[in-house]
Structure 1
Amino acid sequence: MGNSASAAEDMPFDAKDFPKDLLAAQLKLAELYTALRDHQARLPWSRDADDGWPDAPERWHRRGRPKTTGWEAADAEMYDRLWKDLRTAAAAVQGHDHWSRCKQHGVAGADLVATRQALKNADGAVPAPKEDAPALDQEDVERAA
Protein backbone atom coordinates (compact mmCIF):
# COMPACT_ATOMS: atom_id res chain seq x y z
CA MET A 1 0.00 0.00 0.00
CA GLY A 2 1.42 3.33 -1.04
CA ASN A 3 0.58 6.58 0.63
CA SER A 4 -1.45 9.25 -1.15
CA ALA A 5 1.42 11.79 -1.18
CA SER A 6 3.56 9.42 -3.20
CA ALA A 7 0.65 8.66 -5.54
CA ALA A 8 0.15 12.39 -6.12
CA GLU A 9 3.84 12.79 -6.94
CA ASP A 10 3.57 10.03 -9.56
CA MET A 11 0.75 11.83 -11.38
CA PRO A 12 1.75 14.02 -14.32
CA PHE A 13 1.59 17.74 -13.58
CA ASP A 14 -1.60 19.43 -14.77
CA ALA A 15 -1.16 23.20 -14.85
CA LYS A 16 -4.94 23.67 -15.00
CA ASP A 17 -5.54 21.64 -11.85
CA PHE A 18 -5.59 24.79 -9.76
CA PRO A 19 -5.07 24.66 -5.98
CA LYS A 20 -8.13 25.57 -3.93
CA ASP A 21 -6.47 28.63 -2.38
CA LEU A 22 -5.63 29.98 -5.86
CA LEU A 23 -9.23 29.46 -6.99
CA ALA A 24 -10.41 31.27 -3.85
CA ALA A 25 -7.97 34.13 -4.48
CA GLN A 26 -9.17 34.49 -8.09
CA LEU A 27 -12.78 34.45 -6.93
CA LYS A 28 -12.03 37.19 -4.39
CA LEU A 29 -10.27 39.23 -7.09
CA ALA A 30 -13.25 38.97 -9.44
CA GLU A 31 -15.70 39.86 -6.65
CA LEU A 32 -13.64 42.90 -5.65
CA TYR A 33 -13.43 44.07 -9.25
CA THR A 34 -17.22 43.81 -9.54
CA ALA A 35 -17.73 45.67 -6.25
CA LEU A 36 -15.36 48.45 -7.34
CA ARG A 37 -17.01 48.74 -10.75
CA ASP A 38 -20.50 48.86 -9.20
CA HIS A 39 -19.42 51.42 -6.59
CA GLN A 40 -17.75 53.65 -9.16
CA ALA A 41 -20.81 53.48 -11.45
CA ARG A 42 -22.87 55.16 -8.70
CA LEU A 43 -20.39 58.00 -8.15
CA PRO A 44 -20.27 61.40 -9.83
CA TRP A 45 -17.82 61.60 -12.72
CA SER A 46 -15.22 63.53 -10.68
CA ARG A 47 -13.85 62.77 -7.24
CA ASP A 48 -13.42 66.50 -6.62
CA ALA A 49 -15.90 69.33 -7.16
CA ASP A 50 -15.74 70.58 -10.74
CA ASP A 51 -17.69 73.14 -12.77
CA GLY A 52 -17.83 70.78 -15.74
CA TRP A 53 -17.73 71.91 -19.37
CA PRO A 54 -19.94 71.92 -22.45
CA ASP A 55 -19.72 69.52 -25.38
CA ALA A 56 -17.13 70.43 -27.99
CA PRO A 57 -18.81 69.20 -31.21
CA GLU A 58 -15.75 70.02 -33.31
CA ARG A 59 -13.74 67.56 -31.21
CA TRP A 60 -15.55 64.20 -31.15
CA HIS A 61 -13.53 62.95 -28.17
CA ARG A 62 -14.38 65.95 -25.98
CA ARG A 63 -17.79 65.15 -24.48
CA GLY A 64 -19.22 67.65 -22.05
CA ARG A 65 -19.49 67.03 -18.32
CA PRO A 66 -22.04 68.43 -15.89
CA LYS A 67 -21.13 70.38 -12.78
CA THR A 68 -20.46 68.12 -9.79
CA THR A 69 -19.87 68.56 -6.09
CA GLY A 70 -17.57 65.53 -6.17
CA TRP A 71 -17.67 62.43 -4.02
CA GLU A 72 -18.82 62.22 -0.43
CA ALA A 73 -16.03 61.34 2.02
CA ALA A 74 -17.55 57.90 2.72
CA ASP A 75 -17.69 57.14 -1.01
CA ALA A 76 -14.06 58.14 -1.48
CA GLU A 77 -13.06 56.01 1.51
CA MET A 78 -14.92 53.01 0.10
CA TYR A 79 -13.37 53.51 -3.35
CA ASP A 80 -9.85 53.72 -1.89
CA ARG A 81 -10.43 50.63 0.27
CA LEU A 82 -11.78 48.63 -2.67
CA TRP A 83 -8.80 49.63 -4.83
CA LYS A 84 -6.36 48.66 -2.07
CA ASP A 85 -8.11 45.32 -1.54
CA LEU A 86 -8.18 44.73 -5.30
CA ARG A 87 -4.43 45.32 -5.61
CA THR A 88 -3.79 42.96 -2.68
CA ALA A 89 -5.99 40.27 -4.22
CA ALA A 90 -4.31 40.67 -7.62
CA ALA A 91 -0.90 40.28 -5.99
CA ALA A 92 -2.08 37.09 -4.25
CA VAL A 93 -3.19 35.61 -7.58
CA GLN A 94 -0.17 36.74 -9.59
CA GLY A 95 2.35 35.79 -6.90
CA HIS A 96 0.85 32.38 -6.09
CA ASP A 97 3.31 29.47 -5.91
CA HIS A 98 1.29 27.59 -8.55
CA TRP A 99 2.85 29.78 -11.27
CA SER A 100 6.36 28.84 -10.11
CA ARG A 101 5.37 25.18 -10.18
CA CYS A 102 4.05 25.66 -13.72
CA LYS A 103 7.40 27.10 -14.82
CA GLN A 104 9.26 24.26 -13.07
CA HIS A 105 7.23 21.81 -15.15
CA GLY A 106 7.96 23.63 -18.41
CA VAL A 107 4.72 25.59 -18.70
CA ALA A 108 5.85 28.89 -20.18
CA GLY A 109 5.09 31.44 -22.87
CA ALA A 110 1.73 31.06 -24.57
CA ASP A 111 0.95 27.93 -22.53
CA LEU A 112 1.39 29.84 -19.27
CA VAL A 113 -0.78 32.68 -20.58
CA ALA A 114 -3.47 30.16 -21.57
CA THR A 115 -3.27 28.59 -18.10
CA ARG A 116 -3.65 31.99 -16.42
CA GLN A 117 -6.63 32.71 -18.68
CA ALA A 118 -8.16 29.32 -17.80
CA LEU A 119 -8.01 30.26 -14.11
CA LYS A 120 -10.31 33.20 -14.77
CA ASN A 121 -13.06 30.85 -15.94
CA ALA A 122 -12.35 27.85 -13.71
CA ASP A 123 -15.04 26.35 -11.48
CA GLY A 124 -14.76 28.02 -8.10
CA ALA A 125 -13.05 31.14 -9.47
CA VAL A 126 -16.04 32.84 -11.09
CA PRO A 127 -18.59 34.69 -8.94
CA ALA A 128 -22.18 33.57 -9.18
CA PRO A 129 -24.23 36.19 -11.03
CA LYS A 130 -26.50 38.32 -8.90
CA GLU A 131 -30.16 38.09 -9.78
CA ASP A 132 -30.56 41.85 -10.23
CA ALA A 133 -27.20 42.46 -11.90
CA PRO A 134 -26.73 42.68 -15.65
CA ALA A 135 -24.82 39.77 -17.13
CA LEU A 136 -21.08 40.30 -17.50
CA ASP A 137 -19.88 40.34 -21.06
CA GLN A 138 -16.50 38.85 -22.07
CA GLU A 139 -14.83 42.26 -21.88
CA ASP A 140 -15.89 42.58 -18.22
CA VAL A 141 -14.46 39.14 -17.43
CA GLU A 142 -11.15 39.97 -19.11
CA ARG A 143 -10.88 43.31 -17.29
CA ALA A 144 -11.63 41.66 -13.97
CA ALA A 145 -8.92 39.15 -14.45
Structure 2
Amino acid sequence: MSTATPPPEQAPAEETPFDPHDFPQKLRDAQRRAAELYAELHSLQARLPWSREPHEGWPEVTDRGRERAGRAASPGWDPADAAAFDKLWEELLEATAYVHTHGWWKTCRDHGVEGADLVAARQALKSAKGAVPLARDDVGTAA
Protein backbone atom coordinates (compact mmCIF):
# COMPACT_ATOMS: atom_id res chain seq x y z
CA MET A 1 0.00 0.00 0.00
CA SER A 2 1.38 3.34 -0.98
CA THR A 3 1.55 6.11 1.54
CA ALA A 4 2.34 8.86 -0.93
CA THR A 5 1.34 12.25 0.22
CA PRO A 6 -1.56 13.84 -1.62
CA PRO A 7 -0.74 16.76 -3.87
CA PRO A 8 -1.08 20.14 -2.21
CA GLU A 9 -4.47 21.74 -2.59
CA GLN A 10 -4.54 24.32 -5.29
CA ALA A 11 -6.36 27.56 -4.86
CA PRO A 12 -9.64 27.52 -6.77
CA ALA A 13 -9.38 29.18 -10.16
CA GLU A 14 -10.80 32.68 -10.19
CA GLU A 15 -14.31 32.68 -11.57
CA THR A 16 -14.68 34.82 -14.66
CA PRO A 17 -17.17 37.61 -13.99
CA PHE A 18 -20.36 37.54 -16.02
CA ASP A 19 -20.25 39.76 -19.10
CA PRO A 20 -23.70 40.78 -20.39
CA HIS A 21 -22.06 41.83 -23.67
CA ASP A 22 -20.72 38.33 -24.38
CA PHE A 23 -23.72 37.56 -26.57
CA PRO A 24 -24.43 34.00 -27.75
CA GLN A 25 -23.86 33.47 -31.48
CA LYS A 26 -27.54 32.61 -32.13
CA LEU A 27 -28.56 35.94 -30.61
CA ARG A 28 -26.00 37.81 -32.73
CA ASP A 29 -27.25 35.98 -35.82
CA ALA A 30 -30.85 36.86 -34.99
CA GLN A 31 -29.97 40.53 -34.48
CA ARG A 32 -28.12 40.55 -37.79
CA ARG A 33 -31.14 39.01 -39.53
CA ALA A 34 -33.44 41.62 -37.98
CA ALA A 35 -31.13 44.42 -39.14
CA GLU A 36 -31.01 42.98 -42.66
CA LEU A 37 -34.79 42.72 -42.80
CA TYR A 38 -35.15 46.29 -41.54
CA ALA A 39 -32.77 47.53 -44.25
CA GLU A 40 -34.61 45.56 -46.92
CA LEU A 41 -37.96 46.92 -45.75
CA HIS A 42 -36.60 50.48 -45.64
CA SER A 43 -35.23 50.10 -49.18
CA LEU A 44 -38.60 48.84 -50.43
CA GLN A 45 -40.45 51.71 -48.73
CA ALA A 46 -38.10 54.26 -50.28
CA ARG A 47 -39.22 53.34 -53.79
CA LEU A 48 -42.94 52.96 -53.05
CA PRO A 49 -45.49 55.78 -53.32
CA TRP A 50 -46.20 57.51 -50.01
CA SER A 51 -49.69 56.02 -49.68
CA ARG A 52 -50.48 52.31 -49.84
CA GLU A 53 -53.97 53.08 -51.15
CA PRO A 54 -54.64 55.56 -53.99
CA HIS A 55 -54.94 59.06 -52.53
CA GLU A 56 -55.52 62.44 -54.16
CA GLY A 57 -53.00 64.20 -51.95
CA TRP A 58 -53.39 67.78 -50.69
CA PRO A 59 -52.04 71.22 -51.58
CA GLU A 60 -49.33 73.09 -49.78
CA VAL A 61 -50.81 75.64 -47.40
CA THR A 62 -49.23 78.90 -46.28
CA ASP A 63 -51.30 80.73 -43.70
CA ARG A 64 -49.97 83.78 -41.81
CA GLY A 65 -46.38 82.66 -42.11
CA ARG A 66 -47.04 79.03 -41.24
CA GLU A 67 -46.51 76.42 -43.87
CA ARG A 68 -47.88 72.94 -44.21
CA ALA A 69 -46.23 70.81 -46.85
CA GLY A 70 -48.45 69.39 -49.51
CA ARG A 71 -48.49 65.91 -50.96
CA ALA A 72 -48.81 64.96 -54.58
CA ALA A 73 -51.40 62.36 -55.54
CA SER A 74 -50.41 58.74 -54.90
CA PRO A 75 -51.42 55.92 -57.23
CA GLY A 76 -51.14 53.47 -54.35
CA TRP A 77 -49.02 50.35 -54.22
CA ASP A 78 -48.90 47.61 -56.77
CA PRO A 79 -50.32 44.35 -55.28
CA ALA A 80 -46.94 42.64 -55.67
CA ASP A 81 -45.23 45.45 -53.74
CA ALA A 82 -47.89 45.30 -51.02
CA ALA A 83 -47.39 41.53 -50.71
CA ALA A 84 -43.59 41.97 -50.55
CA PHE A 85 -43.98 44.66 -47.87
CA ASP A 86 -46.35 42.51 -45.80
CA LYS A 87 -44.00 39.51 -46.02
CA LEU A 88 -40.97 41.56 -44.98
CA TRP A 89 -42.94 43.20 -42.17
CA GLU A 90 -44.03 39.82 -40.80
CA GLU A 91 -40.49 38.42 -40.99
CA LEU A 92 -39.15 41.53 -39.24
CA LEU A 93 -41.71 41.18 -36.44
CA GLU A 94 -40.73 37.53 -35.93
CA ALA A 95 -37.02 38.31 -35.97
CA THR A 96 -37.30 41.17 -33.49
CA ALA A 97 -39.58 39.12 -31.22
CA TYR A 98 -36.92 36.39 -31.16
CA VAL A 99 -34.22 38.91 -30.21
CA HIS A 100 -36.38 40.57 -27.54
CA THR A 101 -37.43 37.31 -25.91
CA HIS A 102 -34.13 35.41 -26.21
CA GLY A 103 -33.10 33.54 -23.07
CA TRP A 104 -29.90 35.60 -22.83
CA TRP A 105 -31.82 38.46 -21.28
CA LYS A 106 -33.10 36.19 -18.49
CA THR A 107 -29.54 34.98 -17.94
CA CYS A 108 -28.49 38.62 -17.62
CA ARG A 109 -31.21 39.28 -15.05
CA ASP A 110 -30.24 36.09 -13.17
CA HIS A 111 -26.71 37.55 -12.88
CA GLY A 112 -28.05 40.83 -11.52
CA VAL A 113 -27.97 42.83 -14.74
CA GLU A 114 -31.08 45.00 -14.61
CA GLY A 115 -32.41 48.46 -15.34
CA ALA A 116 -30.05 50.76 -17.22
CA ASP A 117 -27.37 48.06 -17.41
CA LEU A 118 -29.76 45.67 -19.14
CA VAL A 119 -30.85 48.42 -21.53
CA ALA A 120 -27.17 49.15 -22.26
CA ALA A 121 -26.57 45.46 -23.03
CA ARG A 122 -29.56 45.37 -25.37
CA GLN A 123 -28.29 48.50 -27.12
CA ALA A 124 -24.77 47.05 -27.35
CA LEU A 125 -26.15 44.02 -29.20
CA LYS A 126 -27.19 46.30 -32.06
CA SER A 127 -23.54 47.12 -32.82
CA ALA A 128 -21.89 43.89 -31.62
CA LYS A 129 -19.44 42.16 -33.94
CA GLY A 130 -21.36 39.71 -36.09
CA ALA A 131 -24.73 41.31 -35.31
CA VAL A 132 -24.41 44.13 -37.83
CA PRO A 133 -24.86 43.47 -41.56
CA LEU A 134 -22.18 45.95 -42.61
CA ALA A 135 -19.72 47.65 -40.30
CA ARG A 136 -17.53 50.65 -41.11
CA ASP A 137 -14.46 48.40 -41.31
CA ASP A 138 -16.26 46.25 -43.86
CA VAL A 139 -16.71 49.23 -46.19
CA GLY A 140 -12.96 49.82 -46.37
CA THR A 141 -12.32 46.11 -46.90
CA ALA A 142 -14.94 45.86 -49.63
CA ALA A 143 -13.60 48.92 -51.46
Q: TM-score, normalised by structure 1?
A: 0.79
Q: Which has the larger radius of gyration?
A: 2
Distance 1:95 1:31 in 2: 19
Query: What does 1:62-101 align with in structure 2 at a 5 Å threshold?
Result: 62-101=68-107
Counterpart CA distance in 2 for 1:128 and 1:111 is: 26
- 1:141 maps to what in 2? none
Which position in structure 1 is the counterpart of 2:12? none
Q: 2:42 corresponds to which letter in structure 1? A: R
How far residue 20 of structure 1 moved from its aligned partner, in angstroms, is 0.2
Runs of 4+ aligned residues of structure 1 deviating over 6 Å after TM superposition are none
Residue 122 of structure 1 corresponds to 128
Deviations 1:32-81 (A, max 9, x none): 11001110000001001111111012253x31111121000000001111
Distance 2:27 2:42 in 1: 22
Percent identity, aligned pairs only, is 52
Higher helix share: 1
Paired residues for 1:1-145 under 5 Å: 10-58=15-63, 59-60=66-67, 62-128=68-134
CA RMSD of aligned residues (A): 1.5
Q: What amino acid is aligned across from residue 60 of structure 2 in structure 1? A: D
Higher strand content, 1 or 2: 2
For 1:3-33, what per-residue CA distance to the aligned partner results, in whole angstroms no more than 9, with x for missing partners?
xxxxxxx533211100000000000011111
2:4 maps to: none
Paired with 2:74 and 2:109, the residues of 1 have a C-alpha distance of: 50
How many aligned positions are there?
121
Listed as ranges, the gaps of 5+ residues in structure 1 are 1-9, 132-145
